[in-house]
Amino acid sequence: MSKPFLSIERLTQQFSDGSGGTLTVFENASFGIEKGEFVCILGHSGCGKSTIMNILAGLAEPTSGVVKMDGKEVSGPSLDRGVVFQNYSLLPWLSALKNVTFGVKARYPNWSKDKVEAHAREFLAKVGLEGDVIHRKPSQLSGGMRQRVSIARAFANQPKLLLLDEPFGALDALTRGTIQDELLKVWGETEQTVFMITHDIDESILLADRILLMTNGPLARVAESVEITLPRPRTRTEIVEHPNYYAIRNHLVQFLGKRSKELAGQKMDAEDLRPETVRIDVAGESDASKDSSPALRAVNH
């Protein structure tokens, strides 16, 4: 089997626990992400999601293990990996437009000023920001608009991998919904690879091709990789009508409510802990023509 686009191999992270001991956040975690995939990682607060993301971004070094992108080991930050954090992290002294052109200029130093600006405007428009509003500074924008600028900025740089750490955590439900739709649209148009942290089950079902489920820490692990067997394009009103929707949702709710705790803190004696693939396809089960799909795991919660 060929190596995936992004491969996380035996990643271990330990920190000092502040009283002379060590805290093992996770140990020997291994998983892969294919090019163009949208993968969400779901887990309770403190299990180590941001730690994984910071390592993928090259902003932190793991205690041991490696991350390879396109076969090359990740070390240090790079324009090939774009990051969006919950708190927007825009440059406050620059307008929305300049916040985007700033990165585009760095990414494409040979482009003319006009080309850079047209490109930035195109990506701002994709997230619904057009007209005078793009000349405002972050302090003059609502939280939702600021997060749109962050997303436009990240996509405009066309990184090979886009990392999103709970990007909608601070937004109200309505704004969140709109920006999720915009994110799906931009992702659909650009075919970028996205790795997104969230603690919102519905958000992850709407967006992801696959959801990685993490057990609680310490000694957390990526226990399952749940395929989201819902056709695209997806809309939040349509997916709830699909027979697979509630089966998948129940599985995720059960995991986060129960199994994430039951499986927590178990020291596993494996050098390479890979998540179990879970495919829930109630709709496909009765369809004999689809018997080539992988074995289904029973969901009898």
Ligand X SMILES: Nc1ncnc2c1ncn2[C@@H]1O[C@H](COP(=O)(O)OP(=O)(O)O)[C@@H](O)[C@H]1O
In the list 138, 144, 217, 275, the residue contacting ligand X (rule: CB under 6 A) is 217
Q: Which residues contact 73 (CB under 8 A, 6 or more apart)?
A: 66, 67
Question: Can you tell me which residue has the tokens 């491969």?
Answer: 7
The single residue among 3, 34, 46, 268 that binds ligand X, judged by CB under 6 A, is: 46
The least distance separating ligand X from the CB of residue 89, rounded to whole angstroms, comes to 16
Q: CA–CA distance from 79 to each of 89, 96, 117, 163, 201 (Å)?
A: 16, 20, 18, 12, 30
Among 28, 10, 49, 67, residue whose Cα is nearest residue 267: 28
CA atoms within 13 A on the CB side of 50: 10
Compute the least distance from the CB of residue 69 to Mg ion, in Å: 21
Q: Is 51 in the site for ligand X (CB under 6 A)?
A: yes
Distance, CA of 79 to CA of 192 (rounded, Å): 14
Query: By CB under 6 A, is residue 47 in contact with ligand X?
Result: yes
Task: Determine if 22 is a binding residue for ligand X (CB under 6 A).
Answer: no
Shortest separation between residue 215's beta carbon and ligand X, angstroms: 11
User: Residue 104 is which amino acid?
Assistant: V
Stretch that binds ligand X, among 49-57, 97-105, 168-176, 255-263 (CB under 6 A): 49-57
Min separation Cβ 85 and Mg ion, Å: 9
Tell the smallest beta-carbon distance from residue 199 to ligand X (Å). 8
Among 216, 218, 215, which residue's Cα sits nearest to residue 22?
218
Residue 101, contacted partner among Mg ion, ligand X, none, CB below 5-8 A by kind: none
Q: How many residues bind ligand X (CB under 6 A)?
A: 11
Task: For ligand X, give the closer residue by CB, 16 or 110.
Answer: 16
- Using only C-alpha atoms, the chain has a radius of gyration, in whole angstroms, of 20
Residue 50 contacts ligand X per CB under 6 A: yes
The secondary structure of 149-170 as a DSSP string is HHHHHHHHT--SEEEEESTTTT
Residue 50 found at the interface with Mg ion (CB under 5 A): yes
DSSP state of 47: S
- Span from 42-50, 148-156, 225-233, 244-252 in contact with ligand X (CB under 6 A): 42-50
Q: Which does 62 bind (CB under 5 to 8 A by kind): Mg ion, ligand X, none?
A: none
Q: From the CB of 206, what's the least distance to Mg ion, in Å?
A: 20
- Please, which contacts does 15-24 make with residues 24 or more away whose CB atoms are closer than 8 Å? 23/218, 24/218, 24/219
Residue 217 interaction partner, one of ligand X, Mg ion, none, beta carbon < 5-8 Å per kind: ligand X
Positions that interact with ligand X (CB under 6 A) = 15, 25, 43, 45-51, 217
